C-alpha cells in the first residue's frame, strides 16, 4: 500500500506536528507534502524525512510570518495531485485536505475545520486584528468557505480528534466522521511521589491559550505558578505576573517530565479541540484544572482526574482551584486513565481503520 502524508505547514511545533511524527513512524516510507518547511526550527529527525514543499516556501519571511499568506494556501493544495498513491492521509487544521487525490483513498485526520475561516471573530480577537482589517477580510472569508466545502468532497473519510470536532465536522461540512484520539507518549511521564507546592502551565505563549487567566488567578490566591514555554505573548504576560509567577522559557523534554510529575496541579485555561498537555500531566499522575469545554470533556473526569471551571474568567478559575484544593486524587488511577490515549492505542485504531477502508475500496 503506497501512502502519502499531507500536512499544512512545518514552521513550529504543536499538537498537529506531534500527530505528524506519529503518522511518519507508522508509515515510515511515506513522503510528506506540505506548503512550507522551516528546517532550522523543526526537530532534527525531520531532516531525514522526504519532505516536499510548495512554491510558497520561497516567499519572503514566510517561515516566521506565515499567517499573512493564508489566502495562498488553498492554491497550493488545490493543485497538488496525488493520484499516484493508494492512500493519502491529510493531517488537517488548515487547508491541506484540498489536495487532488484522484483514485487514491483520501482519509482526513481533522484536527479542526480551519479556525481562520469558520471561527474568524474569535481568531481575529485573539490575533488583535483591527475592525478595518476584519471588514476587508470578509469577502475573502466568504470565498474560503466555499472553497472549503468544495474541498471536503475530495475526502473519502473524516477522522475527528475529539467529540467536539466530530460535531463541528457534521455542522460545518455536513459529513460524518469517527473519533480517534490523538497520540500521547504516556511512557515519557511517570508519577514522582509527593508533589511540590506549585501549579504548572505549559505550552506556547499565544493569546488564545489564555495563560493570563492562570496568572491572574494565582496572583489573587498567592499561589506559586510555573510557566514553561515561549511565544509572542510572553512580554504581555510578564507585565501582569505577580512575584510568585516564574517564567521558565523553553524547557527540554526531560525537564518537562519532571515539572509535570512534581506539580501540585496542571492548569489548562484555554479551549482546545483536544489538548495533549493535560493528558501528559495525567500520565505523570497529576490532576488537571481545565476549562470544561472542547477536548477536555473527552479526557478529564471531573472530581477524579481533575476539576473543571465553567467560564474563562479569573474568578471562575479561582473557584475551581479552591475546590481542587479540598479534594484528594489517586495518582495511579489518574495515570491509568491517561493510558487510554497512549500512542499505541492511536496506532492500532488508526491503522485498523485505514486498512479496513482500503480493503473495502479494493473490494468495490
Looking at residue 48, what is its pLDDT? 93
| In a shared domain, residues 144 and 200 | no
Residue 60 near residue 34 (C-beta atoms within 8 A)? no
Bridge partners, residue 33, by sequence: 6, 52
3-state secondary structure of 133: helix
| In a shared domain, residues 159 and 212 | no
**pTM assigned to the model:** 0.87
Dist. CA 308–CA 286, nearest whole Å = 15
3-state secondary structure of 137: helix
For the chain (364 residues), the mean pLDDT of every run of 10, in chain order, is 96 89 96 95 93 93 82 91 96 94 96 84 65 73 90 96 97 96 95 93 90 98 96 94 96 92 97 94 98 96 97 97 97 97 97 95 78
Dist. CA 181–CA 177, nearest whole Å = 12
Range of the domain at 197: 186-341
| In a shared domain, residues 131 and 215 | no
Residue 92 near residue 111 (C-beta atoms within 8 A)? yes
Residue 168 maps to which CATH number? 3.40.50
Strands (E), 23-141: 32-33, 51-52, 87-92, 105-110
Bridge partners, residue 81, by sequence: 100
What is the grid cell recorded at 247? 517564567
- Number of domains comprising the chain: 2
Residue 256 maps to which CATH number? 3.40.50.2000
Dist. CA 249–CA 7, nearest whole Å = 27
Nearest to 270 by CA among 231, 327, 244, 235: 231
What is the grid cell recorded at 302? 471531573
Amino acid at each position: 500500500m503506497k501512502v502519502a502524508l499531507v500536512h499544512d505547514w512545518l514552521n513550529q511545533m504543536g499538537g498537529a506536528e506531534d500527530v505528524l511524527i506519529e503518522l511518519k513512524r507508522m508509515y515510515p516510507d511515506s513522503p510528506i507534502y506540505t506548503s512550507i518547511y522551516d528546517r532550522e526550527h523543526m526537530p532534527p529527525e525531520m531532516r531525514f524525512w522526504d519532505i516536499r514543499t510548495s512554491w510558497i516556501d520561497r516567499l519572503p519571511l514566510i517561515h516566521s510570518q506565515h499567517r499573512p499568506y493564508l489566502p495562498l494556501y488553498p492554491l497550493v493544495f488545490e493543485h497538488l495531485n496525488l493520484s499516484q498513491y493508494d492512500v493519502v492521509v491529510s493531517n488537517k487544521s488548515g487547508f491541506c485536505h484540498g489536495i487532488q487525490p484522484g483514485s487514491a483513498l483520501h482519509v482526513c485526520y481533522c484536527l479542526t475545520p480551519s479556525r481562520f475561516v469558520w471561527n474568524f471573530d474569535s481568531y481575529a480577537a485573539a490575533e488583535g486584528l483591527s475592525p478595518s482589517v476584519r471588514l476587508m477580510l470578509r469577502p475573502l472569508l466568504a470565498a474560503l468557505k466555499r472553497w472549503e466545502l468544495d474541498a471536503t468532497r475530495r475526502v473519502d473519510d473524516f477522522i475527528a480528534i475529539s467529540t467536539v470536532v466530530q460535531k463541528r465536522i457534521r455542522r460545518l461540512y455536513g459529513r460524518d466522521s469517527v473519533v480517534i484520539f490523538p497520540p500521547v507518549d504516556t511512557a515519557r511521564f511517570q508519577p514522582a511521589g509527593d508533589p511540590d507546592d506549585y501549579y504548572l502551565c505549559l505550552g506556547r505563549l499565544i493569546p488564545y491559550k489564555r495563560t493570563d487567566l492562570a496568572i491572574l488567578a494565582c496572583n489573587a490566591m498567592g499561589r506559586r505558578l510555573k510557566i514553561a514555554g515561549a511565544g509572542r505573548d510572553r512580554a504581555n504576560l510578564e507585565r501582569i505576573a505577580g512575584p510568585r509567577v516564574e517564567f521558565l522559557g523553553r524547557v527540554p523534554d526531560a525537564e518537562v517530565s519532571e515539572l509535570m510529575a512534581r506539580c501540585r496541579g496542571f492548569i489548562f485555561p484555554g479551549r482546545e479541540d483536544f489538548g495533549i498537555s493535560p493528558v501528559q500531566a495525567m500520565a505523570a499522575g497529576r490532576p488537571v484544572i481545565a476549562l470544561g469545554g472542547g477536548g477536555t470533556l473527552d479526557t478529564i473526569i471531573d472530581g477524579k482526574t481533575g476539576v473543571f471551571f465553567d467560564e474563562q474568567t479569573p474568578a471562575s478559575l479561582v473557584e475551581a482551584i479552591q475546590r481542587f484544593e479540598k479534594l484528594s486524587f489517586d495518582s495511579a488511577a489518574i495515570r491509568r486513565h491517561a493510558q487510554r490515549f497512549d500512542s499505541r492505542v492511536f496506532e492500532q485504531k488508526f491503522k485498523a481503520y485505514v486498512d479496513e477502508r482500503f480493503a473495502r475500496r479494493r473490494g468495490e
